[in-house]
C-alpha cells in the first residue's frame, strides 16, 4: 500500500472544510445568543384568566422597556408564555415544555397549586422559579430553586387577623377548597388563636363555584359578628351577592383577591361595607411606579393592577440579575438574595431568609362600589 500524501489540493480542501465547520459553529453560537429567553406559566384561560392576562401584559411591557433600553447587555429579551390554566397537571406540562422544548431555565409562575406542583421539577432540573402571585406559606419550604417576589399568605393572614381581632372576639370563615384557600385558613386560624378570637363556623366551596346558598344558610345560623371570605376572583362577587340574599349580617373581611374589579362588577352594591387588607400597587409610591402606571394605561387602555405590577417587577428583577451576574439559575438567585437597595415599581424590596419579599400591606373598604383606602 502506498503511503498517504496530503497534496496541496487536498490540504486546501481540508482547510476549507474545517473553516466551514468553525463558521457553522460560530453561526450556531451567534444564533443562540440572538435573544435571552425567560419562561412564564400563567393562567391565561380558566378561573385565573383575569389576573393571568394582566400579569402577561405586565411582563410584555417590561420586555418592551428593557429592549428599548438596549436589552440585556445588548441582547434582546423575550418571554415565552405557556398557559397553566391554574391547574397542577397543566402547570407541570407547561413547565416541562419550557424546559425541554425552549431550553429555558428561568421561569416566572403564579398560583399556589401551580407553583407547588412545579417545585419538585424545578429542584430536579435545577430551574429557577420566580413566583409572582402564589401565596401558600408552604412555598417557604419548597427549596432553593424558588424565589417569591410576592408576599405569602401567612403575612397577609396575620395582617387580616390583626384587623379582625381589633374589632371582634368571634369569627366565621368561608374559603375556597384549594391550596390557596386551605393555606390561608391555616394561617389566619393560627393568628386568630394567638389573639384569643374564637372560630364559630367554617365553610368551604369548590373552585369555580357560583352557588353558595347552602354555605350561606349555615353561616347565617352561626351568627358570627365577623366573616372572613377567602375565594378566587369572580367567586367573591357571587359570595357577596348571596350573603346579602340569604341575610347574613356579619361584617365581612377579605384579602387581596376580594378587591378585584371583576368582583365589584358582579356585586357593586353587595360588597359595600366589606373590609380587608391587600397587596397593593400604588402608582404614587415612587417615580418608577408612576411611569409604569402611565405606560400601562397608554399601552393597554386600562389601569395597572397589582398582578400587572408584580409581573413587570419580576421581569425587571430577572433581567437586572442576568445583566449583572449571568443567566444561570444559581447566579440569578444569588444576586437577588444578596443585592441591596433593589427598587422598582413596588418600592424598595428585600428578600428574607426564605427567599420571599417583604411588602407593606394596605387596608381597604368598599364605599359606593369602589375600593377606598383605610388608615
75-100 pLDDT, tens digit per residue, is 999 999 999 999 999 999 999 999 99
Q: Which of 146, 137, 150 is nearest to 333 (CA)?
A: 146
pLDDT at 31 exceeding the cut of 70: no
pLDDT band at 18 (very low <50, low <70, confident <90, very high): very low
240-252 pLDDT, tens digit per residue, is 999 999 999 999 9
* Cα–Cα distance, 85 to 44 (Å, whole number): 6
pLDDT at 366 exceeding the cut of 60: yes
Domains of the chain: 36-151+283-349 (3.40.50.2300), 154-278 (3.40.50.2300)
Please give the sequence-ordered ranges of beta strands (E in DSSP) within the chain, or none if there are none.
36-42, 77-83, 106-109, 128-131, 146-148, 170-176, 198-205, 226-230, 251-254, 275-278, 342-344, 347-349, 362-367, 370-374
Instruction: Write the CA distances from 330 to 123, 177, 297, 313, 359, integer angstroms.
Output: 12, 35, 35, 20, 24
Identify the residue with better confidence: 28 or 338. 338
pLDDT at 27 exceeding the cut of 60: no
Which of the residue ranges 99-113, 218-232, 287-301, 344-358 would you say has the lowest mean pLDDT? Answer: 344-358
pTM of the predicted structure, to 2 decimals: 0.73
Amino acid at each position: 500500500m502506498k503511503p498517504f500524501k496530503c497534496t496541496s489540493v487536498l490540504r486546501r480542501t481540508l482547510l476549507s472544510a474545517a473553516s466551514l465547520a468553525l463558521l457553522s459553529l460560530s453561526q450556531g453560537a451567534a444564533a443562540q445568543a440572538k435573544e435571552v429567553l425567560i419562561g412564564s406559566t400563567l393562567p391565561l384561560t380558566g378561573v385565573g384568566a383575569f389576573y393571568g392576562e394582566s400579569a402577561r401584559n405586565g411582563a410584555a411591557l417590561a420586555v418592551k422597556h428593557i429592549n428599548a433600553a438596549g436589552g440585556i447587555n445588548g441582547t434582546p429579551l423575550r418571554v415565552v408564555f405557556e398557559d397553566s390554566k391554574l391547574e397542577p397537571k397543566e402547570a407541570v406540562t407547561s413547565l416541562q415544555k419550557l424546559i425541554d422544548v425552549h431550553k429555558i431555565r428561568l421561569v416566572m409562575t403564579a398560583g399556589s397549586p401551580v407553583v407547588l406542583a412545579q417545585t419538585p421539577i424545578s429542584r430536579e432540573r435545577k430551574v429557577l422559579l420566580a413566583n409572582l402571585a402564589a401565596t401558600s406559606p408552604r412555598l417557604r419550604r419548597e427549596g432553593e430553586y424558588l424565589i417569591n417576589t410576592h408576599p405569602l399568605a401567612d403575612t397577609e393572614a396575620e395582617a387580616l387577623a390583626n384587623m379582625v381581632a381589633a374589632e371582634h372576639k368571634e369569627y366565621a370563615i368561608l374559603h375556597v377548597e384549594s391550596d390557596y384557600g386551605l393555606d390561608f385558613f391555616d394561617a389566619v386560624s393560627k393568628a386568630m388563636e394567638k389573639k384569643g378570637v374564637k372560630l364559630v363556623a367554617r365553610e368551604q366551596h369548590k373552585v369555580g363555584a357560583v352557588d353558595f346558598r347552602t354555605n350561606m344558610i349555615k353561616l347565617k345560623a352561626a351568627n358570627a359578628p365577623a366573616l372572613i371570605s377567602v375565594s378566587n376572583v369572580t367567586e367573591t362577587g357571587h359570595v357577596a351577592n348571596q350573603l346579602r340574599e340569604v341575610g347574613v349580617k356579619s361584617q365581612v373581611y377579605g384579602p387581596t383577591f376580594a378587591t378585584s374589579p371583576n368582583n365589584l362588577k358582579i356585586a357593586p352594591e353587595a360588597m359595600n361595607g366589606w373590609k380587608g387588607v391587600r397587596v397593593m400597587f400604588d402608582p404614587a409610591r415612587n417615580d418608577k411606579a408612576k411611569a409604569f402606571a402611565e405606560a400601562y394605561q397608554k399601552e393597554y387602555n386600562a389601569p395597572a393592577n397589582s398582578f400587572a405590577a408584580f409581573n413587570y417587577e419580576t421581569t425587571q428583577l430577572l433581567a437586572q440579575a442576568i445583566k449583572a451576574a449571568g443567566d444561570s439559575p444559581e447566579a440569578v438567585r444569588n444576586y437577588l438574595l444578596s443585592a441591596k437597595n433593589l427598587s422598582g415599581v413596588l418600592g424598595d424590596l428585600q428578600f428574607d431568609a426564605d427567599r420571599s419579599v417583604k411588602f407593606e400591606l394596605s387596608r381597604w373598604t368598599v364605599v359606593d362600589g369602589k375600593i377606598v383606602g383605610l388608615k
